[in-house]
Amino acid sequence: MNITGNTILVTGGGSGIGRALAEALHKAGNQVIISGRRERALDAVTAANPGMKSLVLDIQNAGDITAFARQTVEQFPSLNVVIHNAGIMRSEDLAGGDFLGTAEETIATNLLGPIRLTAALLPHLLKQKHAAVLTVSSGLAFVPLATTPSYSASKAAIHAWSMALREQLKATSVEVIEIAPPYVQTELLGPQQAVDPAAMPLVEFTAEVMALLENAPASGEIIVERCKPLRFAAENGQVAAIFAQLNAQHG
């Protein structure tokens, strides 16, 4: 992927990984548009990055996605890259029984959101000389965290969907790239995660991702070193061992 000279939409760009990638790509010479549900958070990011734009989007709302895609293409006809970063991660007590609402919201945000937005934008992207769809899965797509089953499942689905989308679009101008983060210092699970020494510093993660994007592997997967034990657990026969270790640490 050429990491400069693009018009890039980053969902969930108001904080965390989304904001970090948006700012890095903005500095690299791209027109970046961030989206999210919190207008105040988006405004803070664009104020700190002159030239960056923002649009409000409720990624859980199918109708909002359709209208948003139309508005985005109208305002930014050169749009050629979308990064599906918006996501939520919440613990679920399956034995307790009160988890269905969280599960449904997680799937709507993490899985249906990217699928719906891709469906709305793909006709436009296919007309571009060079375009890309970037999904953000997780190391938990390959070895799940038991306390966040729907999140882990949604990211496993994103991985499978990305593989299938890549195969279907291989003869087109649209590249499909999957970014699989490890445990990173963001507030995805709350403020404590942002300062957890066990998590990968966000600055380091972003720098490594940007370096890998410049020479995206043939697999189409961006896997930082800290995520490789999870990503290749099955290939290395380590799923059971890593699952036990992971869930002992975070259980």
Q: Is 49 left (phi over 0), alpha (psi -120 to 50) or beta?
A: beta
Identified catalytic residue from 151, 161, 183, 205: 151
Q: Where are the alpha helices (DSSP H) in the chain?
A: 16-27, 39-48, 62-75, 100-107, 113-125, 149-168, 202-214, 228-231, 239-250
Which residues, other chains included, contact 125 with Cβ-Cβ below 8 Å and sequence gap of 6+? 79, 80, 82, 131, 133, 173, 174
Cα distance between residue 149 and residue 4, in whole Å:
37
Handedness of CA 164, 165, 170, 171 (dihedral sign): positive
- Catalytic residue check, 183: no
Residue 200 bridge partners (DSSP): 184
User: For residue 213, which phi and psi values (nearest 5 degrees)?
Assistant: -65, -30
Cα distance between residue 90 and residue 193, in whole Å:
13
Q: Where are the alpha helices (DSSP H) in 136-236?
A: 149-168, 202-214, 228-231
Cα distance between residue 25 and residue 214, in whole Å:
11
Which residues, other chains included, contact 184 with Cβ-Cβ below 8 Å and sequence gap of 6+? 16, 17, 199, 200, 201, 202, 205
The vertex-231 CA angle with 26 and 25, nearest 5°, equals: 5
* Residues recognised as catalytic: 151
